[in-house]
Structure formats: C-alpha cells, structure tokens
Amino acid sequence: MKILKNAALIACVISLVGLPCLKAHADDHIGQYGNYGFVQDEADLLSTEEEMGLLEKLESDGAAHDLQIAVVTVESYEQSDILYYGDDVMDYNDWGFAGDEAVKAILLAFCPTERTYAVVIENAAAGIFTDNAQTALDDMYIPYLRDGRYYDAFASFSAGCDKICRAYENGESTYDQYGEKDKGISGVAWWKWLICLLGGGLFGMAPVSSMKAALKNVVKNDSAGMYKNPGGMNLTGRQDLFLRKNVSRTKIQHDDNKSSGGGGHTTMHHASSGHSHAGHSGKL
C-alpha cells in the first residue's frame, strides 16, 4: 500500500513539473502553418475559422509561384521599428519559413496597438517585389487595415502577391512602373509641385505689389540714348584670347544598397542575422 502511495505521489509531481514545459512549447507555436502559407495571429485579430481560411489562401497563392507567404500580427515588439521585428521573425523562427536566402518569401507584420506595419522580403524574391511593386501591394491591402477589416486586408495582401508574381512571370512591367506616371520632378507627384508653385506665387505677390506701388516716380524710357556720356570711351577693336583649359572629372557614386530586378529598383537592408532583405514599414 505504501509503495502505491509513493508511486502516486511521484506521478503527481511529474505531471505538475511537466505542465509548464508543455505550455511553453505550445506558446512558441501560435498560429497555422503549411508548406507555403504561415499565419501567426498573436494579436488575436482573426477567428479560428478566419485563420484556417487565410492559411488556405496563402497556401494556394504561394504554391502557384513557389513563394512562401506569411502574415504575422503582434501586440507589441521590442525592436525600434516593426521592420526589424519582421526581419527577426523571418530569420529566427522555428516553423520552416524562409529557411535560407535561396527561398522566395514575403512576410506582412502588423501591430494593431501601434498601428504599424511592415513588409519583409527575402533576398531571392527582391527582384519580383521592387519598390514600385511594393507600393502597388500596399495600395491593395492597407485600406482594409485602416478600416479594421483584418481578414480582408490579409487576404488582399496574398492576392496582391499573386498578381505581382504573375506579372513578373509574364514579363509585364505593370507593377515595376506603378505610380511612375503620377510622378514629376525628382519623383514628386505633379500636383504637389503645382501646390508649391501656386502657394509661392500668392505669397510672393503681396510684397512685390507693395514695392511696385512705391515706384511711382520712375518714368519709362523707350531709348537708351539718354544714358550715353558724350566724350566717353570709344571702343575701336575687340579680341578674345584663349589662354588655358582646366578640366575636372568627378566619379558618379552609385548606391550599392539598391539592386534592380524586373526593370525596377529594390531597396535592400541588412537584418540582424546578416541576411539581406527588401521591404519597408509604415504607420496607418
């Protein structure tokens, strides 16, 4: 009888010690994962049904282009920018996503409390998701994020990845040149330049008008003859002498942090892991 009691006590202790270990293991794997789709909803923005539906969408769109697609939500992050949080998720996770730089992968990270978002792209997919293509992708899902329609936002992100990949595979430059027609000098939209010109004209008109009004004693002269000084200098000859030539050459510096792909440019950055990633971050 005593042996049975001791055995029962040992079993109880083992079960109590083992429970925290099991819970910690489970907390490290929040979400749904497949071969191409990954959903980690730490901020609890989606229902279980929506997570499964989103995973199916990511799997379908990713498998069509051999592209891993991840959607990650987080309540808070320690990094200075959510872009660096996305870098760490991409490089240090243990659920089979973007295992190395040769894998094409893209990740959307979103923090509802800070209302910040980031898109992180593994180096192998940087040629597909150029800077202009990323702008086009943002326009597809960010309006839903602003409205709090999170499932629609994440599904639109996946659909946008599918559209951009199809255009890239078909040799189309639709997304590489996205927004270029709306840009003017130095990449600034033409309507911004128009506002600057009109604003400057209106503000400059007032002081010029006041100075013009003060010049009432000035009389217009149709000829320059009255400005001649009789007996002044008489120029009889003119000659130009070319003495020497001085040519200076300056090497044009190129930004090594940018690489091109698909006809557009992709801005790269180095993650804490040492991997090169494309991507950007923003705030709603």
148-186 pLDDT, tens per residue?
Answer: 999 999 999 999 999 999 999 998 876 766 655 444 444
The total number of structural domains that make up the chain: 1
Q: Is position 149 within any domain?
A: yes
Distance of CA 102 to the CA centre of its chain: 21
Structural domain boundaries enclosing 141 = 29-180+266-283
**pLDDT (0 to 100) of residue 1:** 46
Q: How would you label 59-79 residue by residue, b for 16+ Cβ within 10 Å and e otherwise?
A: bebbeebebbbbbbbbeebee
Q: Is position 175 within any domain?
A: yes
Q: Is the pLDDT of residue 262 over 50?
A: no
User: Residue 52 contacts by C-beta under 8 Å, 6 or more apart in sequence?
Assistant: 32
Q: Is the pLDDT of residue 54 over 90?
A: yes
75-101 pLDDT, tens per residue?
Answer: 999 998 999 999 999 888 866 676 666
Name the pTM for this structure. Answer: 0.61
CA distance 185 to 187: 5
Q: Which amino acid is at 113?
A: T
**pLDDT (0 to 100) of residue 21:** 31
Q: Is position 273 within any domain?
A: yes
CATH assignment at residue 141? 3.10.310.50
Q: Is position 242 within any domain?
A: no
Mean pLDDT of 18-36: 49
Q: Is position 46 within any domain?
A: yes
Q: Is the pLDDT of residue 107 over 90?
A: yes
**By mean pLDDT, which of 24-28, 55-59, 176-180, 222-226 is the weakest?**
24-28
**pLDDT (0 to 100) of residue 257:** 43
Q: Is position 164 within any domain?
A: yes
